[in-house]
Amino acid sequence: MKDLFVDRLINISVWQGVARLDFARVDDVNPEDKKVNMSASYRVAMPLDALAALAEQSSKAMADLTKRAQSSDTPEPSAEKKPLIIVTTQP
């Protein structure tokens, strides 16, 4: 499996039953006004049911992150750290 790094999702479009997710990368940041300049980098195309599954997994991941952030005041006694998020899917 190949990893692709992106800085931001910039657009989602749907046409003829296919969702297209456009991602961008940060090119530079203006040091004076802190404005970020971005350019398109990748597009991922998927059927609508895959987009629905992506949305569900994203919601679960955000809920997990929120829960962990709220409980971060009390560290776990375990010396071994847990992975940040684990999301499993069924094909």
For the chain, give the percent of residues with pLDDT over 70. 79
What value does the mean pLDDT take over residues 13-20? 96
pLDDT at 84: 60
Name the strands in the sheet holding 18-29, side by side, starting at the edge strand that comes first in the sequence.
Answer: 8-15, 18-29, 36-47
- Give the span between the Cα atoms of 90 and 87, in whole angstroms: 10
> What is the pLDDT confidence band of residue 73, given thresholds at 50, 70 and 90?
low
Q: Is the per-residue pLDDT at 61 higher than 70?
A: yes
pTM over 0.85: no
